[in-house]
Amino acid sequence: MSTPLIEIPDAALADVSGGRRASGNLFGFLDGPYKRLVFDFASRIGGGKLADRMYGSHTTSADRARAQAAMKKFLVAGNKLPKGVPNLFG
């Protein structure tokens, strides 16, 4: 069963501001540093595995660095932590 879409008049949206949800998270300011730390470790591990799979025994340190940078971009582009990582602050 699908919910019908409701149209909201422009006048009702005139007073809307922000875009961040209000939460009772006291440690919300730590979300950014926590995600950067997780993304850094995940990109090192995942990038190394990616390079090994792509190049096998011919993997160089430059290949690993490129794969790690690509993995970090992939993780940062997402809006969620990687699967299996505990989100302590949200």
For residues 40 and 89, give the distance between their C-alpha atoms in angstroms, rounded to a whole number: 18
Q: What is the pLDDT of residue 62?
A: 93
Q: What is the pLDDT of residue 17?
A: 67
Q: What is the pLDDT of residue 33?
A: 86
For residues 65 and 9, give the distance between their C-alpha atoms in angstroms, rounded to a whole number: 51
Chunk the chain into consecutive blocks of 10 residues (it has 90) and report each block's average pLDDT, rounded to whole numbers: 75 69 64 86 90 89 92 79 61
